[in-house]
Amino acid sequence: MHLRQIGDTKVSAIGLGGMPMSIEGRPDESRSIATIHAALDAGITLIDTADAYHLGADEVGHNESLIARSLASYGGDTSEVLVATKGGHLRPGNGSWTLDGSPDHLRRACDESLRRLGVDAIGLYQFHRPDPTVAYEDSIGALRDLLDQGKIRMAGISNADPDQIRTAQQILGGRLASVQNQYSPAFRSSEPELRLAESLDIAFLPWSPLGGIKNAAELGTTYQVFAQVAREIDATPQQVALAWMLATSPTVIPIPGSSRPETILASAVAVDLVLTPAQVSRLAQTSTREPS
Ligand SMILES: NC(=O)c1ccc[n+]([C@@H]2O[C@H](COP(=O)([O-])OP(=O)(O)OC[C@H]3O[C@@H](n4cnc5c(N)ncnc54)[C@H](OP(=O)(O)O)[C@@H]3O)[C@@H](O)[C@H]2O)c1
């Protein structure tokens, strides 16, 4: 498995996104555990989660608990696995996603995530999404305090614009480890954040790298150049999308979501795919939807 860097920690160049195993359409627990164990078997050492990956309001942290149980029941060594969780989003249980970026909430949420993950310090704690009712500086100030208290080992942000990245880096005293934004063949508008993260030596974690749970299967029909390159290198369009992202910048670590062992195993293979500069440039130019 090829490795990339988040802060001081080396992780697999592709991570596992845990969301499809805990929200609408999730599989039964045994399939989820098999998926996480398959990821570990493939050498994946980054698992992305959030306290808000759940359905009902009575099961906050469903995904964190699932990951903690899966790590505990895995036969092999999990000491190198970085679990990256998030706080700042809430799901009241009616399908919506609400926000609370207040320092009080983030402090409480972090304590709950620590308990569910069963660790003394969270490997990477990410502020999930800016809350327009709370000054960004205050939300990030809470992360700085959690770092200073040793409750989190690294701090990251998500859904941030370039100004927010700079603000976070300043408030954290240069300790911002990662930025997690939406980025995929369908969604390229995070390029400025990606390039800024690269220039600051901060990891960039594309979320929904395959276009999201509902669209991932159609990637090759919606963006035909991905299917064309896939045929050229005997891969799938989804693998080509991940390989293309990896080729975009050494700071990129995609976190494709999975709810089946087959899909995370297929994604792990993408780290070994080699694209020519001409293929990367053809893929990069697909900024608009192409007719299928
Ligand atoms: N920070 C944020 O605000 C935010 C927002 C959204 C997501 N995220 C994170 O980003 C992760 C990824 O995003 P996502 O799950 O929304 O979307 P995604 O990764 O674009 O797509 C996920 C879907 O792709 C399918 N898939 C995965 N690998 C595949 C492969 N190699 N070939 C074919 N299909 C494949 C999976 O199918 P199966 O289910 O059948 O396995 C899964 O349902 C999430 O899990 C979550 O951790 C963060």
Task: Output the CA–CA distances (angstroms, integers) from residue 127 to 29, 130, 168, 170, 192, in the order listed.
Answer: 27, 8, 10, 15, 19
Dist CA 73 CA 197 (whole Å): 35
What pLDDT, in 10s, does the model give residues 185-208?
Answer: 999 999 999 999 999 999 999 999
Please tell me the residue having the least CA distance from ligand 1 atom 30: 263
Is residue 179 within 8 Å of 160, Cβ to Cβ? yes
Please tell me the residue having the least CA distance from ligand 1 atom 28: 263
Tell me whether residue 74 is one of the annotated catalytic residues.
no
b/e for 156-184, b at 16 or more Cβ within 10 A? bbbbbeeebbebbbebbeeebbbbbbbbb
Dist CA 164 CA 216 (whole Å): 29
Regarding the beta carbon of 180 and ligand 1, being less than 6 Å apart is answered: yes
Regarding the beta carbon of 238 and ligand 1, being less than 6 Å apart is answered: yes
Ligand 1 atom closest to the CA of 236, numbered from 1: 32
pLDDT tens sequence for the chain (292 residues): 999 999 999 999 999 999 999 999 999 999 999 999 999 999 999 999 999 999 999 999 999 999 999 999 999 999 999 999 999 999 999 999 999 999 999 999 999 999 999 999 999 999 999 999 999 999 999 999 999 999 999 999 999 999 999 999 999 999 999 999 999 999 999 999 999 999 999 999 999 999 999 999 999 999 999 999 999 999 999 999 999 999 999 999 999 999 999 999 999 999 999 999 999 999 988 644 444 3
Ligand 1 atom closest to the CA of 206, numbered from 1: 10
Regarding the beta carbon of 172 and ligand 1, being less than 6 Å apart is answered: no
Dist CA 235 CA 238 (whole Å): 8
What pLDDT, in 10s, does the model give residues 93-128?
Answer: 999 999 999 999 999 999 999 999 999 999 999 999
